[in-house]
Amino acid sequence: MAVIHHRAHHAKAVTLQSLSLHAVLSPNRKVLVVRSRQQLHLLVHLAAAVQRQAVPHVEADKTMAKIIKIGTRGSQLALWQAHWVKSELERVASQSIGYRDICIEIIKIKTTGDQITDRPLSMVGGKGLFVKEIEQQLLDQEIDIAVHSMKDMPGDLPEGLTVGAIPVRENPFDVLISRDNLCLDALPSGARIGTSSLRRASQIRHARPDIIPISIRGNLDTRLRKLDAGEYDAILLAAAGLIRLGMAERITQYLDENIMVPAVGQGALCIESRQNDGYISQILRQLDERVTRIPVEAERSFLKRMEGSCHIPVACFGKIVENQDGSAREQLILTGLVASEDGTEVIRESLSCFLERDGKELPEIEGASQAAQSMGIRLADLLLMNGADQILENLKNS
């Protein structure tokens, strides 16, 4: 039995009838079933005739590529992050049965945070200023995946959405870029430091009460131009964005957690998806990085307990380190901070725990994540008990 594509039959139906062939159309109407060598011989000649008439030939059994749409902001950094996720998904898909024919598209979405350029975002209020519109398109199934900077994510996700993957984290710290290449301690009294973050401004005021934080908005290029033009003596930025865009040479000083506690999730990406989309969830799991997810889960649990967003002076940073006693056990260290807007009050605490239970290691992501989330809640409660609740209440009423 031989098979001839239906398109040839459709193009030459009259010819088939004139040849009095007993060819039958299969139930799925995609192929002709030929039941004799003579019929096959005649149809081969017919197919050649069809080709000479330039009738397009389409493989009927070719699997249609599945289109996966990634939603992202349209900034230079956001697009870099989305394209990185796209390339990682394509790499994983090429090695995974069932995903090799995917076609990934990037969809740019404008958010509320992108549209507000004339005032500090802390004055606008609300949560998720850089993610709401993207999440809505995810819920509406206009896109399949959303790529965010984790530090832009509020503590709670909309119902029906989940963090499908947290890939490997870039440098999580803040950096100082100064016009005269001066470090923080060397900046002159009265120096003007540009930042759009209350968290950074309050910690800078606490470390150097004699310098002046001033609001700055715009993308990285815009902020660097303002610095170079003399509008500021220095600016504060996240290290991750500069590194990802190839601008690390502009960094004057890295400010680790002993100088400035980073924002929750800083340096990490959040790849968000729908909870009920098993096809997407399965491939995203292959991008998830355990040593990133566990600390970030702890940080986000802290933020949720604080009922905070990225636009209040709340900070938390977690890291996994090897135990100093020489054993193979991993230790999670979590540092949290709440500060008043003027930097005069700063409450900072740290907790640590081994990622084990009943003497057994917890290499599985589920058990370790649960331990990390519990630790984040305990750290938040400790800060609230030590006065952070009053600082946050004063901030809300100011």
Burial class (CB in 10 A: 0-12, 13-18, 19+), 184: buried
Residue 260 in domain: no
Q: Do 161 and 273 belong together in one domain?
A: yes
Rounded to whole angstroms, how far apart are CA atoms 79 and 62? 32
Residue 85 in domain: yes
Q: Do 134 and 23 belong together in one domain?
A: no
Containing domain of residue 230, as a range? 174-255
Residue 335 parent element (H or E): strand 330-339
Residue 224 contacts residue 231 (beta carbons within 8 Å)? no
Residue-level pLDDT at 367: 75
The DSSP-derived string for 66-102 is PEEEEEE--SHHHHHHHHHHHHHHHHHHTTSTT-TT-
Residue 167: strand, helix, or coil: coil
Residue-level length of the chain = 398
Residue-level pLDDT at 336: 98
Rounded to whole angstroms, how far apart are CA atoms 21 and 16? 6
Q: Residue 109's domain is classified under what CATH number? A: 3.40.190.10
Tens of pLDDT along the chain (398 residues) come to 444 443 333 333 333 333 333 344 444 444 455 555 555 555 555 555 444 443 333 333 334 679 999 999 999 999 999 999 999 999 999 998 889 889 999 999 999 877 776 665 555 555 678 899 999 999 999 999 999 999 999 889 999 999 999 999 999 999 999 999 999 999 999 999 999 899 999 999 999 999 999 999 888 999 999 999 999 999 999 999 999 999 999 999 999 999 999 999 999 999 999 999 999 999 999 999 999 999 999 999 999 998 765 557 899 999 999 876 666 678 999 999 999 999 999 999 999 988 864 445 445 556 788 889 999 999 999 999 999 999 988 888 87
Residue 261 in domain: no
Rounded to whole angstroms, how far apart are CA atoms 365 and 348? 28
Residue-level pLDDT at 51: 47
Rounded to whole angstroms, how far apart are CA atoms 191 and 187? 6
Please say if 152 is a catalytic residue. yes
Residue 142 in domain: yes
Indicate the number of domains in the chain. 4
Residue 341 contacts residue 198 (beta carbons within 8 Å)? yes
Residue-level pLDDT at 46: 52
Residue-level pLDDT at 16: 37
Residue-level pLDDT at 269: 98
Residue 109 in domain: yes
Residue-level pLDDT at 257: 96
The residue annotated as part of the active site, out of 152, 210, 325, 381, is 152
Q: Do 85 and 106 belong together in one domain?
A: yes
